[in-house]
A and B are shown apart, each in its own frame.
Chain A
Amino acid sequence: MDKENIIEIHDLKKNYDKGNIKALNGVDMVIKKGEFISIMGPSGSGKSTLLNMIGALDRAEEGTIEVAGIDLMKTSDLSEFRSKEIGFVFQMHNLIPNLSVLENVEIPMYESQIKSHQMRERALELLEAVELKDKADTSPTKLSGGERQRVAIARALVNHPSIILADEPTGALDSKTGDVILKMLKELHNKEHVTLVMVTHEPYVAQMADRILNVLDGKITASS
């Protein structure tokens, strides 16, 4: 793997429904460290499946995939990889409702063996970065959609990941709030020096990225 590359994928294939659905049909892709990549495509094209492969949420059947130096096809337990290297931002924020904002941001740090007070400090640092430090003890149910997504971004960054994977992070937000989120994501991508891979079906969102990859029928068809 080229030292400048953080993701290298060759001929990746993933099927569902006993092979009847070819979600990924031979994907080839290389992403350099620190890049901001948008993945675009129509519904069912395989873009979310590709994101799940990069984030080790699922395994491919064929091909090779190396992320942050880890061969995901050969590693049996991928939870440590996800804990250390990946930060997820989902379309629906997926915050835990009975925990406070601060506690939600702390959740990924449980596997990192750091002390409670250090967890708290790191979580507060990130909540300040997303301008929600004053809401640390609030329940997520009392926040707006945009605020919840900001908390989700803070949670995604808490373990100093090398890659942020965002699956339509503004899909459930109005355009004004969505713009705020995108701007925040881009700023944090620059500030924290993370590689950002974002799935979107909106062209104006994709334009913010350094590069756009188009996916159709489980293959990368264009890169611009």
Chain B
Amino acid sequence: MSFLKLILKNPFRNRTRAILAIIGIAIGIATIVALGMVTGGLQSATQSTLKAGAAEISVTQKGSNTFISTGGTVNESLVGDLRKIDGVKDTAGILRASANISGSSNFGPGGGFSVNGIDSDKLSLVGIDSLNGTGFSNGSTNEIILGKTSANNLNKTVGSTINLFGTDFKITGIFETGNFIQDAGAYMSLSTLQNLTGNDEKVSNIVVKVDENANVTQVGQSIENNYNDLTATTAADQANRINEGLGTINTASTAISLLAIIIGGVGVINTMVMSVFERTREIGVLKAVGWRNRRILGMILGESIVLTLVAAVVGIIMGIVGVEVLLNVIPSSGAVIKPVLTLDILARAFLIALLVGILGGLYPAYRASRLAPTEALRYE
């Protein structure tokens, strides 16, 4: 039997203890993997919100939230006024509303079903460049297009109907922008939504497409200078806000990972110290038959690493399963989070397991290698 086979075999001589140690470490690894998958998914999703919209600036009433403001807070007339500002190529007014859909719990983010009103010829400004279907006409009172995520969640296809605000709408198209918020919602004619929600000549925000040679920040500043009651948020501003949020999540994730390493490491030390303690006499015999101190150290350290690498495999599986369970238990989370398992996450899990194995096994291995042969042989 090779030395490597011996190292692979020894950790499992006490199966119960090995399994418990593996589970303890695996929970830490699972946490790291699950957090990594979720934050990775959030990062992809938030990046998609930035690239999906063709417009670079979102103009809202001062004090309202660019992402989730609903209702008509901005005069529709400003849509045309803003188009006259230097550097502005095109504008579109968007009215946002939230609708209840009876019999379905698969709502998009925010709790209600997100319905947006826009002129049909301005869909490209919100990133809808292509459509499966025919789309809707301006002023049409019974046509609507759905995002792919909402269509899947509601089991709707082109041609089926959906009842919103007490009115039946025919689904005339399904779009996919890659933006998780957009794709969980729907679009209809602006005037129709204004009528249904009592927001005549009002919009929630105005999206602004900037000339190719224009400076986005300067155009945004221009809008705010000309209209004191409006806030112009550029894509860069949005990115910064999102990155700050993600930064906080990443910091928390790192802190949790560190805690998992410490707890895992303590568990490994405990397991290996007990193992060495129980094998004191055996180690004395190994020394008596001529094993060098470094071979004994290598054996104990190797066993520790075997335990933690097995725990890494178990932990990765637990992490993936855990995330899947989360998505099934909270169905709406699937609209927001698309967990991503990357090679980086797997590499990190194994590296952390290796580190825990080395750090946790070093002290017991050293102790074992320094045992005096005669004392070890006398041990009962």
Contact = CB atoms under 8 A, between A and B. Distances in A.
Interface of A: 52, 55, 57-58, 77, 79-84, 86-88, 90, 94, 96-99, 102-103, 106-108, 110-111, 116, 119, 155, 159
Top 10 A-B pairs, shortest CB-CB distance: A83-B290, A108-B289, A98-B13, A82-B290, A57-B373, A94-B285, A79-B292, A58-B374, A103-B1, A88-B288
B12 to A, nearest CB: 8
Interface of B: 1-3, 6, 9-10, 13, 281-282, 284-293, 295, 372-374, 377
- Interface SS majority for chain B: helix
A79 B290 contact: yes
Contacts of B286: 107
Contacts of A96: 282, 285
A97 to B, nearest CB: 8
Nearest to A97: B13
Nearest to B299: A110
Contacts of A110: 3, 291, 295
Given A77-B292, A79-B290, 20 more contacts: A52-B374, A57-B373, A58-B373, A79-B287, A79-B292, A82-B287, A90-B285, A94-B281, A94-B282, A96-B282, A99-B1, A99-B6, A99-B9, A102-B1, A103-B6, A110-B3, A110-B291, A110-B295, A111-B290, A111-B291
A19 to B, nearest CB: 17
Contacts of A77: 292
Nearest to A49: B374
Contacts of A155: 289
26 contacts: A57-B287, A57-B288, A57-B374, A57-B377, A77-B292, A79-B292, A82-B288, A82-B289, A83-B291, A88-B288, A90-B377, A94-B281, A94-B285, A98-B10, A99-B1, A99-B6, A99-B9, A103-B1, A107-B289, A108-B290, A110-B3, A110-B295, A111-B291, A111-B292, A111-B295, A116-B1
Most A-side CB within 10 Å, residue of B285, B287, B293, B377? B285
Contacts of B288: 55, 57, 82, 86, 88
A221 B10 CA distance: 46
Contacts of B282: 94, 96
Given A57-B377, A98-B13, A116-B1, A86 B281 contact: no
A107 B13 CA distance: 17
A90 B286 CA distance: 13
B283 to A, nearest CB: 10
A98 B9 contact: yes
Contacts of A87: 289
Contacts of A119: 1
Contact of B1 (A57, A80, A97, A106): A106
Contacts of B374: 52, 57-58
A99 B5 CA distance: 11
A182 to B, nearest CB: 21
Contacts of A107: 286, 289
Nearest to B372: A58
A98 B5 CA distance: 13
Given A57-B373, A58-B374, A98-B10, A79 B1 contact: no
Contacts of A94: 281-282, 284-285, 377
Contacts of A86: 288, 290
A14 B63 CA distance: 88
A98 B6 CA distance: 10
A217 B30 CA distance: 63
Contacts of A80: 290, 292
B290 A84 contact: yes
A88 B373 CA distance: 12
Contacts of A99: 1, 6, 9
A155 B282 CA distance: 14
